[in-house]
């Protein structure tokens, strides 16, 4: 009886500590510059950092005419790398649409997060990616700042609900998908670029005038504490002894 009681206490302590991971959050609010974030620029327009008018202070703003617009980061390590070291990740961004117009007509466009891995790309594709469609955005619905956020388990092998894949094509439906043998966790174990974009894989869009602002881009990683990992290992040993 004493052995069983000790085992129960150990398992209870393990459950309590394992549920309390260490959480770290990195946020780019553009008060210290771009911090690796870039937007479209060139013949179609430009992306700038404005000192005022964001969701409290500075923000990144693009005015661009093209099929779509993409804000990306491939240099800030806080937003890149191996996501699978965390047990849970939350990514968030604030968006405001000043103007989204196609030949004089207000339109809506998809707004999505895309996590890109260049190292596993194959078949002529530039990258493999997992992407999540937040919603459609428009001037009518997003004239005020709006926050979009997604929380997910980066260690999932299957694409979680609401996520899509890119890097291959389904031979029957012709929809974009991850290549055979590449899992959600595979892509997230080596994120080379994070992007927020109106260009949804598998869709084609006409030239559109975009004036869009982004602000307060954040990533929150929750990782198990070392003590929780140690107790998880210990509880496993205790359980094994008990079964024998």
Q: Which pairing describes strands 163-166 and 128-138: parallel, antiparallel, or unpaired?
A: antiparallel
**Residues pairing with 90 in the sheet:** 151, 220
For residue 115, give its domain range: 22-223
Tokens 């004493």 belong to residue: 2
The whole-number pLDDT of residue 205 equals: 82
- Structure confidence by residue, pLDDT tens digits, 159-185: 999 999 999 999 888 899 999 999 999
**Residue 230 CB partners (closer than 8 Å, separation 6+):** none
Q: Is the same domain home to 101 and 174?
A: yes
CA 143 – CA 203 distance, rounded (Å): 25
Do residue 49 and residue 110 come from a single domain? yes
Structurally, the chain folds into a number of domains equal to 2
Neighbours of 15 (CB within 10 A): 13
- pLDDT over 50 (residue 40): yes
Residue in 153, 154, 60, 152 with CA at minimum distance from that of residue 98? 60
Asked if 242 and 153 sit in the same domain, the reply is: no
Average pLDDT score over the chain: 86
pLDDT at 225: 75
C-alpha dist (Å) from residue 203 to 69, 71, 115, 198: 14, 18, 18, 10
Looking at the structure, tell me whether residues 39 and 121 fall in a common domain. yes
Q: Contact, 22 vs 223, CB < 8 A? A: yes
Higher pLDDT, 232 or 217: 217
Residues 193 and 206 in one domain: yes
Report whether pLDDT(5) > 50: no
Whole-number pLDDT of residue 203: 86
Contact 82, 221 (CB under 8 A): no
Same domain, 136 and 159: yes
pLDDT of 20 > 50? The answer is yes
pLDDT of residue 90: 98
Residues 232 and 172 in one domain: no
DSSP summary character for residue 112? E
Q: What is the pTM of this model?
A: 0.84
Q: Are residues 11 and 59 part of one domain?
A: no
Per-residue model confidence (pLDDT) at position 207? 78
Contact between 206 and 213 under an 8 Å Cβ cutoff? The reply is no
């Amino acid at each position: 009886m004493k052995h069983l009681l000790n085992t129960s206490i150990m398992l209870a302590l393990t459950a309590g500590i394992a549920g309390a991971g260490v959480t770290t959050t990195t946020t780019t609010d553009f008060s210290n510059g771009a911090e690796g974030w870039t937007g479209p620029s060139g013949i179609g327009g430009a992306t700038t950092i404005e000192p005022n008018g964001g969701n409290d202070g500075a923000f990144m703003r693009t005015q661009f005419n093209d099929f779509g617009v993409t804000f990306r980061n491939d240099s800030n390590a806080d937003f890149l790398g191996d996501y699978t070291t965390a047990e849970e990740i939350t990514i968030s961004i604030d968006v405001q649409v000043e103007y989204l117009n196609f030949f004089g007509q207000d339109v809506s466009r998809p707004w999505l997060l895309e996590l890109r891995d260049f190292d596993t790309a194959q078949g002529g594709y530039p990258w493999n990616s997992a992407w999540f469609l937040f919603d459609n955005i428009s001037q009518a619905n997003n004239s005020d700042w709006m926050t979009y956020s997604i929380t997910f388990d980066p260690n999932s092998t299957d694409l979680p609900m609401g996520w899509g894949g890119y890097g291959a094509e389904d031979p029957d439906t012709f929809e974009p998908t991850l290549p055979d043998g590449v899992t959600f966790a595979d892509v997230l174990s080596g994120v080379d670029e994070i992007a927020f974009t109106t260009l949804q894989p598998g869709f084609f869009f006409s030239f559109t005038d975009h004036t869009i602002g982004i602000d307060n881009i954040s990533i929150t990683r929750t990782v198990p504490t070392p003590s929780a990992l140690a107790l998880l290992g210990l509880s496993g040993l205790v359980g094994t002894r008990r079964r024998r």
